[in-house]
Amino acid sequence: MFTSNPFAALSSFISPVAMQTYVLLMVVLVAGGTLFDIAHKGSAKYFFDNWRKSRGRRGAKQVGAGELVSIAVQTAVVDVLASGEFCNARRRIAHLLGMYGFVLYVVSTVVMVFDALASAIWAQLWWIGGLMVCVGGYWFWFFIRVDVAAEGNSPFRVVKADLFILSLLASVTLGLIWVAAGGGANVLFGLYVLATTVLFAGVPWSKFAHMFFKPAAAFEKRVSYANETRSNLPAPADRPETFGSAREQPRHY
């Protein structure tokens, strides 16, 4: 179970080409949904306008190419790879488990769908990634969500912003149960495909697209701090100084 390719066993029920086409369609939905989300919310326009204003502001310190590279590296390491935006250690760990688990899960899924003879390590990575998503996701959902910790709301309270985490947990959980139950084209597989479709097709209405433009926001924030224009965004994760008059570093619970 932990070393066999669950998608290869489906070839007797579903054409490998159909499965590969489905994966490519999900990629298209993510790309299109992200572009729609950015255009609809004006995220890209906001950050480009803010970037131009900060660079054109009188008295702004000039940031050289070398410093820009250093800032880019800091952004990648601290804000992206280490999720430095989270001040609360539990929230950061849960996020990292979910993030790296999701990457392992998706990459191994793609490899096994496109290569029926993929090495057993990919099946093992699929399980590891899925379990990481479940641990981080369920821990976050039931114990450390913002609403639960700060407002005392029921963990079963659902809003539109929860679409990503709920569809992700549904997709991964149903996938693991489907394989544990023996695989094959059955009801569990249908529910797994349905939840996965909601996950990737729901990008415009979930927080999925955040993972693509949050690094750009973090980079702009660090540059504005370096050129002393003091962006209206909070200070970088590893620079807790305040911006403006009484603006404090935000807390994440």
Is 150 a member of any domain?
Answer: yes
Is 160 a member of any domain?
Answer: yes
Give the long-range contacts of residues 221-226, CB within 8 A, separation 24 or more. Answer: 222/71, 222/74, 222/75, 223/51, 223/54, 223/63, 223/68, 223/71, 224/50, 224/54, 226/61, 226/63, 226/67, 226/71
Is 21 a member of any domain?
Answer: yes
Is 238 a member of any domain?
Answer: no
Instruction: Report the number of distinct structural domains present in the chain.
Output: 1
Is 203 a member of any domain?
Answer: yes
Is 250 a member of any domain?
Answer: no
pLDDT one-digit tens code per residue, 26-59 = 999 998 888 887 776 666 666 666 666 665 555 5
pLDDT one-digit tens code per residue, 106-140 = 999 999 999 999 999 999 999 999 999 999 999 98
Domain that holds residue 91: 8-51+63-226
Is 75 a member of any domain?
Answer: yes
Domain CATH number, residue 46: 1.20.950
Is 162 a member of any domain?
Answer: yes
Model confidence band, residue 101 (pLDDT cutoffs 50, 70, 90)? very high
